[in-house]
Amino acid sequence: MTTLGLNRPPPKAVALPRDEMAFRARYRDLLLRRVLTTVFRPGDRIYPNWRGYSEGEVVTARVIAQPGSDELGVAPKFDDIRIPIKIRRISVTPIDALECGDFAGSSPDVFDAPSLAAHLYRIYRRPLAAFGNQVTRIEFAYLG
């Protein structure tokens, strides 16, 4: 699923490196303190799906300085922080099936299904129904 709720990238989708994971600037401090270890993405983000990842994969966490837009073909701009992380676990789950423990290691503003739905809506500007009401939970560890 994509930000348009399709099984393919939007027509103007920005090509981003597969070995990077983008984080909003508001979570920069959590990354630097290495306390953020769980993130959620809308839809199925398991590779080979678009912008997907695999268990065991090592990627670089990047902080978005200026958001972009796939729908408009505008690439995000990143700051100079590069943090290597290893994806420990990745799973796709209906948002209603998430349990309290699934939010451990997430940002403080994401602590249950309603807060997660609101969080993802603010970022992707699409309701979770556009992604089949499912989310990808990605748990990672910091390297180095």
Whether residue 9 lies inside any domain: the answer is no
Say what the pLDDT of residue 85 is: 98
Residue 1 lies in a domain: no
124 Cβ partners below 8 Å, 6+ apart? 3, 42
In a domain, 3, yes or no: no
Gap between the Cα atoms of 33 and 107, Å rounded: 12
pLDDT tens digit sequence for 61-114: 999 999 998 888 999 999 999 999 999 999 999 999 999 999 999 999 999 999
Q: Cβ contacts of residue 17 below 8 Å, gap of 6+?
A: none
Whether 15 is in a domain gets the answer no
100 inside domain: yes
Give the model confidence (pLDDT) of 19-44 as tens digits: 999 999 999 999 999 999 999 999 99
In this prediction, residue 12 has a pLDDT band, given cuts at 50, 70 and 90, of confident
Structure tokens at 55: 């268990």
DSSP run (H or E) holding 21: strand 20-24
Residue 44 lies in a domain: yes
Q: Does residue 13 sit within a domain?
A: no
The model's pTM is 0.91
- pLDDT at residue 2 above 90? no
Q: What is the mean pLDDT of residues 110-131?
A: 95
Number of compact structural domains in the chain: 1
Report the pLDDT value the prediction gives residue 98, as an integer from 0 to 100: 98
Residue 57 belongs to some domain of the structure: yes
Determine the Cα–Cα distance for residues 20 and 81; give it in Å rounded to an integer: 12
Predicted local confidence at residue 11, as pLDDT: 67
Query: Which backbone phi and psi does 47 adopt, to 5 degrees?
Result: -60, 135
Confidence of residue 3 (pLDDT cuts 50, 70, 90): very low
Nearest to 135 by CA among 105, 88, 96, 86: 96
**Contact by Cβ (8 Å): 138, 45:** yes
The helix (run of H) or strand (run of E) holding residue 139 is strand 134-142
CATH number of the domain at 56, please. Answer: 2.30.130.30
Of residues 130, 112, 117, 139, the one with CA closest to residue 43: 130
* Tens of pLDDT, residues 38-50: 999 999 999 999 9
**Containing domain of residue 63, as a range?**
20-142
Q: What is the DSSP letter of 69?
A: B
